[in-house]
């Protein structure tokens, strides 16, 4: 009854603040959880482990059916999900079952295979989404120059507003955001289109102040130009879409890992941590903007989900992987009492992070 009340409350608040686009949040979260749990499910099945429950959501069951000894369930709280394997129960950390079709009897390497399958499926899903995005086309700012800063490298070299940057050191430039990737404090050859005429410029960027992906002010090489503001549609088709998908997946994964490290070391303030409200805000606005943007956000969240689940925190896939690595190295399991203490500790950490992230979301909403 409580979980049904929370579901109704979530839907009322969601539709109140985000209108019908809030459904995008529900669908994205449910789809990503389904795909993550599908990885665990298929890996377990491939090893002959019985899957007792496959649930999208937590709490009271809204809809369920039994197929080949597995209960498939849609639960009231769509903000999570789980696959319950025979012989594995996170709510009872010390529980084991020694039947032939149980998770408990598997070799640690086989357990790691099952545990890795969920995060891998999230990363693979993001890769597929990026291929689709590349073929649909991404709307970006063109590489046409709008303004040029006084005494900048671009002005000194003779570049002018409305010039369209075609290439840097022979590398084709398709959008304005690609320019910064190729700038350093070494001499560069830049080809521009000026009223249909191609003009070559040899120049060395100057050091200036700019913001990185985490909003930190850093020193970086700059031309001293700003975009015209013209939108273009950038396509990545055929084999090029595979390279685009791989590059974007690696870039997003690296960004998330760097972000986690910066949070731990204190380089990025913890107040920047976002929770479900931030996710709802982003996905709902993306749904209002375009289908391609919604797919892009879904890919980023999927990679985020995959990477975060690999963190070595008990109760997450990464924590269980760590326990199994310990067993492989020391040829004995972590003691039951230690396993239980660490599992409950991990649960407390995750709950605290969720509450803290939600608190941050509320503060941002009130500003």
CA distance 108 to 216: 42
> CB-based contacts of 39: which residues, under 8 Å, 6+ apart?
117, 118, 119, 120, 121, 122
Tokens describing residue 188: 């560069």
CA distance 36 to 44: 13
Tokens describing residue 289: 């903007």
Residue (of 136, 135, 142) closest to 231 by Cα position:
142
Q: Is 327 a catalytic residue?
A: no
> CB-based contacts of 28: which residues, under 8 Å, 6+ apart?
283, 294, 297, 298, 301
> CB-based contacts of 221: which residues, under 8 Å, 6+ apart?
183, 184, 185, 205, 206, 207, 208
In terms of phi and psi (left: phi > 0; alpha: psi -120 to 50; beta: otherwise), the region of 206 is beta
Question: Which of 21, 37, 248, 327 does the annotation list as catalytic?
Answer: 37
User: Which residue numbers are catalytic?
Assistant: 37
């Amino acid at each position: 009854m409580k979980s049904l009340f929370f579901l109704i409350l979530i839907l009322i608040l969601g539709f109140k603040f985000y209108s019908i686009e809030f459904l995008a949040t529900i669908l994205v979260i449910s789809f990503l959880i389904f795909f993550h749990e599908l990885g665990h499910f298929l890996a377990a099945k491939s090893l002959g482990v019985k899957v007792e429950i496959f649930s999208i959501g937590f709490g009271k069951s809204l809809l369920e059916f039994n197929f080949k000894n597995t209960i498939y369930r849609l639960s009231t709280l769509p903000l999570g999900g789980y696959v319950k394997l025979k012989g594995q129960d996170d709510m009872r950390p010390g529980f084991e079952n020694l039947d032939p079709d149980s998770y408990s009897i598997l070799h640690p390497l086989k357990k790691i295979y099952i545990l890795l399958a969920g995060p891998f499926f999230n990363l693979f899903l993001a890769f597929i989404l990026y291929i689709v995005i590349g073929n649909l086309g991404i709307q970006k700012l063109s590489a046409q120059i709008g303004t040029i800063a006084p005494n900048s490298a671009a002005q000194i070299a003779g570049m002018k507003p409305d010039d369209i940057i075609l290439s840097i050191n022979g590398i084709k430039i398709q959008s304005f955001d690609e320019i910064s990737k190729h700038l350093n404090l070494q001499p560069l050859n830049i080809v521009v289109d000026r009223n249909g005429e191609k003009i070559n410029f040899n120049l060395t960027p100057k050091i200036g102040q700019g913001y990185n992906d985490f909003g930190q002010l850093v020193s970086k090489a700059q031309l001293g130009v700003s975009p015209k503001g013209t939108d273009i549609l950038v396509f990545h088709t055929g084999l090029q879409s595979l390279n685009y998908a791989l590059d974007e997946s690696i870039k997003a994964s690296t960004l998330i890992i760097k972000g986690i490290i910066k949070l731990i070391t204190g380089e990025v303030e913890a107040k920047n941590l976002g929770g479900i409200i931030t996710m709802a805000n982003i996905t709902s606005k993306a749904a209002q903007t375009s289908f391609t943007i919604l797919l892009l956000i879904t890919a980023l969240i999927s990679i985020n989900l995959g990477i975060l689940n690999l963190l070595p925190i008990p109760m997450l896939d990464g924590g269980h992987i760590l326990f199994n690595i310990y067993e492989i190295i020391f040829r004995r399991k972590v003691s039951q009492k230690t396993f239980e203490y660490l599992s409950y500790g991990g649960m407390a950490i995750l709950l605290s992070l969720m509450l803290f992230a939600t608190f941050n979301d509320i503060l941002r909403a009130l500003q």
